[in-house]
Amino acid sequence: MGPESLEAKQQAAIEEVLKAYPAKAAKNRKKHLGVGAPEDESQKTCGNVRSNKKTVPGVMSQRGCAYAGSKGVVWGPVKDMVHISHGPIGCGQYSRAGRRNYYIGTTGVDTFVTMNFSTDFQEKDIVFGGDKKLDVAFHEIDDLFPLNNGITVQSECPIGLIGDDINATSKMYAKKTGNTIVPVNCEGFRGVSQSLGHHIANDTIRDYVFDGNAEILGAPIEPTEYDVAIIGDYNIGGDAWSSRILLEEMGLRVTAQWSGDATIKEMAQTPKVKLNLLHCYRSMNYISRHMEKEYGIPWVEYNFFGPTQTIKSLRKIAAFFDETIQQKAEEVIAKYQPMIDGVIAKYRPRLEGKQVMLFVGGLRPRHVIGAYEDLGMEVIGTGYEFAHDDDYKRTKDEIFRSTVIYDDVNEYELEAFVKKLQPDLVASGIKEKYVFQKMGLPYRQMHSWDYSGPYHGYDGFAIFAADMDLALNSPVWGHSTAPWDKEEEA
């Protein structure tokens, strides 16, 4: 590397990136880009970036919408309910089964996650309203899928614009049948990203699951002193299962998963737990705060990516309980340490010093940094699709070195940053994947774990390490340049 410091390179990259914009857009984007320095207390947020603001039009943002935040993230994985995409056909189709929210169940009979239920709005529904159609849809669902434990209505854009009253329609049907019907006003145009959809969905859980006296199947859960709930784990590739195992091994009882592989019963009974364990702060801090206020349940953020953070988190969680749990937590840590040592011994030499740029959503832009660093890899850039200030504040504690921070980065910017900073690996979403692979850059999708995973917990870390090695050390990247284009060896 030349004399130029990493930080100087990063600052220069930002300045250069901004040059291509028309003045108004440049002024806006400047506030969303910065260089984060570890332990720099003068920074209000990591890199002093601004966030959760409207996307600049026309720039090819990677953001999704409120519907995606509610149907796609929070509600969609609840497996024993039917989630209606209420409106035109597209939203439900594009978001069908894309997030890999694993669950156990007989799909189409007692569980419905990977299916697509839509009211398929036609012009007449727009003109005359769709409330009647929604009511008929409820009846048809209950006739054909009698083992559903409730229905949610995930509003698409037109619903809020044409003046439909899904709340009244849902309430009426719920009253008539005693079923749990949850209307969610998560129209895609609300807010600036997925984030508002998370919030709206959280509020509906409060209103219709906690306060709505949702009917539950089977015996109620008899509380114990060691009950906890996993909040904000969508069980992507089975993440919640590889987390759950550790919590159970340390003597805790996980009575609910929110919302990967969840049932409405688990959620409804969560107010009985002693502690809420919050993984994705961004998408489920709202309901955690509500349970704290309403039921006095404390919540604690944890991070199960990579052994360093996992160990820290296990101890942090154990500290809420008695010595037995604390002792067992140490036993869990000790039990897995040899395996983790083996994983690091095997992969670290193959990955050491490789630089990574991340762009993801939710918790990952900060939470996965530790996992890379455990493997000796260096994260030099990160950013969130839909974070708020509190996420960027938390990010300050997670970075290891000067890190370029980009909020709501768009296609143009990310490409420019990668070209300028030349990381060895880019880790982001499906829309960006092939852009960088075309350039010959190893790439991992960090929304879906690139169809692998789980990545949470100790067992997940072993898979993570193997996958990063797979990506970085595959022979395929060496084929990009043809032999006739290769420089003559000296």
Partner 1 sequence: MQNVDKIDNGKNLFQHPEYQDVLKNKKQFEGAWGAVDKAKVEEIAEWTKTWDYREKNLAREAITVNPAKACQPLGAVMVALGFENTMPYVHGSHGCVAYFRSYFTRHFKEPTPCVSDSMTEDAAVFGGLVNMKDGLKNCAALYKPDMIMVSTTCMAEVIGDDLYAFIDAAKQEDGGEHLPAEYPIPYAHTPSFVGSHITGYDNMMQGTMQQLTEGNKADEKKDRINIIPGFETYIGSLISVKSIVEAFGQDYIMLGDHSEQWDMPAGKYEMFAGGTKIDDAKDCINSKATISLQKYATAKTMKMVTKRWKHAGGTSNPVGLKGTDEFIMKLAELTGKEVPESLKAQRGRLVDAMQDSYPYMHGKKFAIWGDPDFLIGMVSFLLEMGAEPTHVLCHNAPRGWEEEMRALLDTSPAKDDLNVWAGKDLWVMRSLLFTEPVDFMIGNSYGKELMRDTGTPLIYIGFPIFDRHHLHRYSISGYDGALNLLTWITNKVLDQVDEETKGIATTDYFFDLIR
| Catalytic residue ranges | 65, 68, 99, 198
Residue-wise over 329-363: b if at least 16 C-beta within 10 A, else e?
Answer: beebbeebeeebeebbeebbeebeebbbbbbbbbb
Stretch that binds partner 1, among 1-9, 32-40, 258-266, 349-357 (CB under 8 A): 258-266
Using an 8 Å Cβ cutoff, are 301 and 315 in contact? no
Q: Is 357 within 8 Å of 381 (Cβ atoms)? A: yes
Cβ of residue 468: shortest distance to partner 1, in angstroms? 12
Q: What single-letter DSSP state applies at residue 272? A: G
Contacts with partner 1 in 388-417 (CB under 8 A)? 410-412, 415
437 binding partner 1? (CB under 8 A): yes
Q: Is 170 in the site for partner 1 (CB under 8 A)?
A: no
DSSP class of residue 477?
Answer: G
Residues 441-470 that bind partner 1 (CB under 8 A): 452-454, 458-459, 462-463, 465-467
Is residue 283 exposed (0-12), middle (13-18) or buried (19+ Cβ within 10 Å)? buried
**Which of 200-228 are b and which e, b meaning 16 or more Cβ less than 10 Å from the residue's Cβ?**
bbbebbeebbbebebebeeeebeeeebbb
Q: Minimal distance in Å, beta carbon 42 to partner 1?
A: 32
For partner 1 (CB under 8 A), the number of binding residues is 137
Distance CA 458, CA 245 (A): 10
Told to check if 87 binds partner 1 by CB under 8 A, we report yes
Nearer to partner 1, 145 or 320 (CB): 145
Q: Rounded to the nearest whole angstrom, what is the least distance from the CB of residue 444 to partner 1 in the complex?
A: 13
Contact region for partner 1 (CB under 8 A) — 186-194, 274-282, 376-384, 387-395?
Answer: 186-194
d(CA 294, CA 271): 9
146 in contact with partner 1 (CB under 8 A): yes
Say whether residue 346 binds partner 1 (CB under 8 A).
Answer: yes
Which residue stretch of 203-211, 291-299, 304-312, 478-486 sits at the interface with partner 1 (rule: CB under 8 A)? 478-486
Residue 422 near residue 13, CB atoms below 8 Å: no
Q: How far is the CB of 438 from partner 1 (least distance, A)?
A: 4
**Phi, psi (degrees; rounded to nearest 5) at 436:** -80, -35
* Phi and psi torsions of 355, nearest 5°: -95, 145
Encoded one letter per residue, x for contact with partner 1 by CB under 8 A and - for no contact, window 95-124 reads xx-x---x-xxxxxxxx--xxxxxxxxxx-
The verdict on 68 binding partner 1 (CB under 8 A) reads: yes
Among 1, 2, 3, 22, binds partner 1 (CB under 8 A): 22
For the bound state, the minimum distance from the C-beta of residue 324 to partner 1, rounded and expressed in Å, comes to 19
Task: Quote the DSSP letter at residue 375.
Answer: T
From 129-137, 284-292, 300-308, 393-401, give the range in contact with partner 1 by CB under 8 A.
129-137
